[in-house]
């Protein structure tokens, strides 16, 4: 444990990096390099169309702190996803496909690089479906470091203030244990009550992420409405140190809910004692997307400016 500002916080090895090195206790998965495969040997390739952007903002955080990002943290597609590509929207159907190709600078002819761009149809904010949101918020001790929990609270307050009266919000927290802080409540005249529940959150204790997600999905299942978009939003630094802590064990607990149209968005906060692997794997297997918030401005981009595209689902199991 470490004494940080106002209390002891658990750590897997220390939040303070030695000798001016990049952030300690930060975990990324090294996927290696995809080999070249001739299409005459294997002509089929698929990819998911979730729009993760976390790798870009993780990189931005490293650069702002004076470091180059670790190689294994770079997922190029998420850098591209972060920026508007200005693809034309579809004239018919849920999405348009844009293709372009050019000779590869990495291999001699006849090798080409092909770019596949997918643009979903744009839903006006007034036409989006109503939502049932379940916030699952990490309030463990590490979330007190760098004011992580305070940024979570500010980000979720921005989101709640953008919701419409018919949307519903429920809140689950986890530290030493999971707790339902707020049963699902229509925003309407209860906005102040929801905001007060968020503002009252305090950091402390260990990190029982498994219990938090299981409780969150149980709450989301109770409030499930097939006429609404049903989404769990996990806000965490990704560290789990109580119960089953690996992503596979936690995923086994939530896969059935994900299959029942309760979508998962994971939102990462903080650096040092940060687990990118868990946050990415959970989103990939929860039929959702993963984003990383490095500032209140980024929270505003995700939860205010891109609110409709963040919440609206236009295709399922698309490859």
DSSP lists the bridge partners of residue 243 as: none
Residues ≥6 apart with Cβ < 8 Å to 274: 23, 25, 26, 27, 237, 238, 239, 268
Residues ≥6 apart with Cβ < 8 Å to 44: none
Lowest mean pLDDT among 25-29, 111-115, 119-123, 138-142: 119-123
Question: What per-residue confidence (pLDDT) applies to 205?
Answer: 85
Of the candidates 130, 126, 123, 131, which has an alpha carbon nearest to the alpha carbon of residue 170? Answer: 131
Q: What is the mean pLDDT of residues 199-210?
A: 87
What is the per-residue pLDDT across 129-159, written as a single tens digit (0 to 9) for each?
889 999 999 999 889 887 889 999 999 999 9
What is the per-residue pLDDT across 240-285, written as a single tens digit (0 to 9) for each?
766 565 667 777 767 766 667 888 889 999 888 788 988 888 888 7
- Which tokens go with 71? 């190689």
- Give me the long-range contacts of 108-112 (CB less than 8 A, separation at least 24): 111/36
Q: What is the mean pLDDT of residues 202-218?
A: 88
Question: What per-residue confidence (pLDDT) applies to 3?
Answer: 43
Question: What per-residue confidence (pLDDT) applies to 45?
Answer: 80
What is the per-residue pLDDT across 189-198, written as a single tens digit (0 to 9) for each?
899 999 999 9
Say whether pLDDT at 166 is over 90: yes
Q: Considering the entire predicted model, what is its pTM?
A: 0.84
Lowest mean pLDDT among 16-20, 81-85, 127-131, 210-214: 16-20
């Amino acid at each position: 444990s470490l004494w940080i500002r106002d209390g002891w916080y658990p750590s897997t090895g220390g939040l303070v990096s030695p000798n001016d090195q990049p952030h300690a206790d930060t975990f990324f998965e090294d996927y290696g390099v995809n080999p070249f495969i001739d299409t005459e040997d294997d002509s089929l390739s698929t990819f998911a169309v979730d729009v993760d952007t976390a790798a870009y903002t993780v990189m931005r955080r490293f650069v702002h702190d004076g470091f180059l990002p670790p190689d294994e943290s770079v997922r190029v597609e998420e850098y591209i996803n972060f920026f508007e590509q200005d693809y034309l929207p579809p004239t018919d159907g849920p999405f348009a496909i844009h293709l372009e190709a050019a000779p590869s600078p990495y291999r001699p002819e006849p090798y080409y690089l092909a770019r596949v761009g997918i643009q979903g149809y744009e839903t006006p904010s007034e036409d989006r479906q109503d939502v049932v949101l379940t916030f699952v918020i990490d309030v463990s001790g590490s979330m007190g470091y760098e004011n992580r929990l305070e940024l979570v609270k500010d980000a979720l307050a921005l989101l709640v203030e953008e919701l419409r009266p018919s949307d519903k919000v429920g809140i689950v927290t986890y530290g030493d244990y999971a707790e339902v802080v707020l049963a699902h409540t229509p925003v309407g005249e209860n906005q102040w009550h929801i905001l007060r529940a968020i503002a009252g959150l305090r950091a402390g204790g260990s990190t029982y992420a498994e219990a938090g997600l299981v409780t969150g999905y149980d709450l989301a299942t109770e409030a499930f409405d097939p006429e609404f978009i049903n989404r769990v939003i996990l806000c965490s630094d990704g560290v789990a140190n109580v119960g089953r802590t690996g992503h596979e064990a936690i995923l086994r607990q939530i896969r059935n809910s994900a299959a029942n149209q309760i979508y998962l968005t994971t939102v990462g906060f903080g650096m040092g004692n940060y687990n990118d692997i868990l946050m990415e794997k959970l989103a990939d297997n929860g039929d959702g997307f993963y984003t990383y918030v490095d500032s209140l401005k980024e929270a505003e981009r995700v939860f205010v400016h891109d609110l409709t595209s963040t919440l609206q689902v236009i295709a399922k199991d698309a490859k």
